[in-house]
């Protein structure tokens, strides 16, 4: 009897059980939403770089299932194309990849894992920092801004705030990498600074932790923090001013 009770307790404490409980709790929350004021909205992409989105990138093995499963690259391209068509400001907030530094900047398991990669050379790190080539054509006009780089999770990205405030923008459509690091960091910082934020749920992916696919795991945090969560299709319709 005691053994059976202990077994049930262990099942409740397993990672899968904890995630299931989190999903139940998230479903009990009201679904957030907001109305876009297109004249005061910017599209912000976090870390759309080779290090995360290219099969040769340092972090690709940890995010590839989520990137492929959510079709992230194509969705980022669709969002940028729509922003160009509608005249919406596009801001890219890139991650810091220093070609002079062969150790990952950061703390914890991600930096330790990246530092253990055998091909982490200066040339490889330099390529990690490049914006994905298929996205660069959408960033070449005067209505696109690439901010300075952030090193950890992007908290206190003052340049992003300055770019938004200089144009009197109050709403942000947020997408990019990684859902459980820099994207959430930017979300928290934007909300703390009074901006309304819509997360594009299938234009991001997270780093897998202990074998658990994290591409949707951060939706729980996003539902607590974001003003709205839309998929790419709904986001594009709203960017065109359509009622959804």
HEC secondary structure over 137-173: HHHCCCCEEECCCECCCCCCCHHHHHHHHHCCCCEEE
On whether both 94 and 15 belong to a single domain, the answer is no
On whether both 11 and 121 belong to a single domain, the answer is no
- Each residue's pLDDT tens digit, 158-189: 889 999 999 999 999 999 998 888 899 899 99
On whether both 5 and 117 belong to a single domain, the answer is no
Query: Is the distance from CB of 114 to CB of 120 less than 8 angstroms?
Result: yes
On whether both 8 and 100 belong to a single domain, the answer is no
- Each residue's pLDDT tens digit, 193-227: 999 999 999 999 988 776 665 655 677 788 889 99
Structural domain includes residue 75: yes
- Rounded to an integer, what distance in angstroms lies between the CA atom of residue 107 and that of residue 152? 8
Tokens of 117: 């990669």
- Rounded to an integer, what distance in angstroms lies between the CA atom of residue 243 and that of residue 226? 20
Residue 87: give the domain boundaries.
Answer: 31-239
* pTM of structure: 0.79
On whether both 12 and 103 belong to a single domain, the answer is no
Q: Is the dihedral of CA 131, 135, 139, 141 positive or negative?
A: positive
On whether both 14 and 41 belong to a single domain, the answer is no
On whether both 91 and 175 belong to a single domain, the answer is yes
On whether both 98 and 154 belong to a single domain, the answer is yes
- For residue 76, what is the domain's CATH number? 3.40.50.850
The total of structural domains in the chain comes to 2
**pLDDT per residue rounded down to tens, the chain (244 residues):** 555 555 444 544 554 554 454 455 555 666 678 999 999 999 999 999 998 899 988 888 888 988 999 999 999 999 999 999 999 999 999 876 554 444 444 444 455 545 545 454 444 445 777 899 999 999 999 999 998 765 555 555 688 999 999 999 999 999 999 888 889 989 999 999 999 999 999 999 988 776 665 655 677 788 889 999 999 999 999 999 987 7
Structural domain includes residue 58: yes
Structural domain includes residue 232: yes
């Amino acid at each position: 009897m005691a053994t059976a009770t202990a077994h049930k307790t262990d099942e409740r404490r397993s990672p899968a059980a904890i995630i299931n409980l989190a999903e139940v709790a998230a479903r009990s929350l009201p679904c957030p939403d907001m109305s876009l004021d297109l004249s005061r909205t910017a599209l912000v992409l976090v870390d759309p770089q080779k290090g995360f989105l290219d099969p040769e990138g340092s972090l690709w093995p940890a995010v590839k299932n989520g990137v492929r499963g959510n079709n992230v690259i194509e969705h980022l391209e669709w969002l940028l194309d729509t922003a160009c068509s509608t005249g919406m400001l596009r801001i890219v907030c890139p991650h810091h990849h220093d070609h002079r530094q062969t150790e990952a900047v950061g703390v914890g398991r991600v930096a330790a894992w990246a530092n253990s990669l055998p091909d982490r050379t200066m040339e490889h790190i330099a390529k990690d920092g490049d914006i994905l080539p298929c996205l660069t054509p959408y960033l070449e006009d005067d209505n696109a801004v690439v901010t300075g780089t952030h090193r950890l999770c992007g908290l206190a990205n003052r340049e992003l705030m300055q770019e938004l405030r200089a144009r009197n923008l109050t709403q942000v459509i947020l997408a990019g990498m990684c859902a459980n690091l820099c994207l959430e960091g930017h979300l928290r910082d934007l909300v703390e600074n009074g901006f309304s934020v819509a997360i594009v749920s299938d234009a991001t992916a997270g780093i897998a932790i202990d074998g658990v696919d994290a591409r949707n795991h951060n939706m729980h945090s996003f539902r607590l923090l974001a003003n709205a969560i839309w998929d790419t299709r709904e986001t594009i319709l709203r960017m065109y001013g359509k009622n959804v």
